Structure 1
């Protein structure tokens, strides 16, 4: 009886399995700059929690479940003042309504599975939107997008808990930690402008919207600025569609 030799599969054209460490290094590289900015922000927030008379674990709980950045700073003061739930809900809506506009262009369609999409919606932050809206990020797969959001979330939780635990060691004379949020958005805006490749009307439209809202709607500056910016983008889009193209 003749025994056939074992068949050896040709692995020359077989793609190598994805390496988790490689994906982790990629996600760390994507979020390194923002992660460094999250550290002083988290320290400031955690210190605010303990200085407001709340237990340290409130910082980690808020960072993990609320995860709303600037609103969390407001929330601590409202909780300490025992503000009504209706006031907290209204404030949360006014501060975070900008995320409605983010969702219009956020690459959630690349994320697979209901759990991934649900977490991607929950963890949609200003920083995640800025990092995934660039030209290079348009080819990122869904796993990379979710990995980026997860790391940003972990940075915020870790920084907040560390700030709460070390808050008593930070002297009251230390100031300027809250400016890290402004500096972070400045860096993200500069990167976004560079990625526009000469499309100056978009940042100019954003600047005009902010100045107009500051002058005429100072009490609702954020909502008014985003609404004006969105209307400006829609108007420009409609005007561009109606303009006939010339060969």
Structure 2
């Protein structure tokens, strides 16, 4: 059986990030079991929701029997940042409608960072899709494994949830390596966060993302109008 080259190279591309999913997924699976939910709930929610941090929040909301309106509001606020990813995510490289639909569904922070990095500018759509699928599989597999072994993990074990912080730190450091002459994204993000905090302290997160989206749009338009030098 011949394996697609895009499948092989996408596995290599996504492995560092996917392995970072493992401790976080294990922690999520353990949390599900310790919340007295059935073990299969972890794998099913990881497969169908694939919301990362929202899934951790959802466990508490489910056990507290939160109303659907509260769940919907929580999902919107936690995942609101994904709206702005469409500005620069290379969805146009994916040809099929089904592929576009899955790429939109599986657009995590890590997938966005990987697909919009400097080295991925020439990636075909299939390579992007396979990378997202690999990361999704890492999350589902680790969450399921965590739920299966969750009953054997003592309550005194702490710190597994720090994997999320560590993963975002690595992604931020990788973004700082961007050597393009335009304003780096981390600088825009920091400025947007500061502006949101000063101007709209009660709605800082939404305002910061709005400022960041505007900054990314201006940077994109400026780079397109900039004359090229041979």
Q: Which residue does 2:67 correspond to in 1?
A: 84
Q: Which residue does 1:213 correspond to in 2?
A: 196
Aligned residues: 230
- Residue segments in structure 1 that go unaligned for 5+ positions in a row: 1-18
Q: Which residue does 2:108 correspond to in 1?
A: 125
Shift of 1:204: 1.7
Match of 1:203 among 173, 186, 210: 186
**CA shift digits 1:147-198 (9 cap, x unpaired):** 0010010000001001111112222222111111111111111112213445
Shift of 1:239: 6.9
- Residue segments in structure 2 that go unaligned for 5+ positions in a row: none
Q: Which residue does 1:55 correspond to in 2?
A: 38
Match of 1:137 among 116, 120, 133: 120
Match of 1:113 among 96, 102, 118: 96
Quick one: structure 1 residues 171 and 199, their matched pair in 2 at CA, closer, same or farther if it must change by over 3 Å?
Answer: farther
Within 2, Cα distance between the matches of 1:175 and 1:42? 14
Q: What is the RMSD computed on CA atoms of the aligned residues?
A: 2.6
The residue matched to 1:194 in structure 2 has which SS?
A: coil
**CA shift digits 1:195-242 (9 cap, x unpaired):** 344545532221122234356656544322211212333455667789
Quick one: structure 1 residues 245 and 191, their matched pair in 2 at CA, closer, same or farther if it must change by over 3 Å?
Answer: closer
Match of 1:170 among 153, 158, 172: 153
Match of 1:192 among 175, 178, 190: 175
The aligned runs of 1:30-41 (5 Å cut-off) are: 30-41=13-24
Shift of 1:23: 3.2
Q: Specify the structure having the higher radius of gyration (Cα).
A: 1
**CA shift digits 1:128-151 (9 cap, x unpaired):** 100010122111111101100100
**CA shift digits 1:71-127 (9 cap, x unpaired):** 111111101100010111011111111111111211111112111111111111111
Within 2, Cα distance between the matches of 1:83 and 1:70? 17
Q: Which residue does 1:42 correspond to in 2?
A: 25
Q: Which residue does 1:64 correspond to in 2?
A: 47
Quick one: structure 1 residues 134 and 86, their matched pair in 2 at CA, closer, same or farther if it must change by over 3 Å?
Answer: same
Quick one: structure 1 residues 101 and 160, their matched pair in 2 at CA, closer, same or farther if it must change by over 3 Å?
Answer: same
**Larger deviation, residues 211-220 vs 33-42:** 211-220
Tell me the TM-score normalized by structure 1.
Answer: 0.83
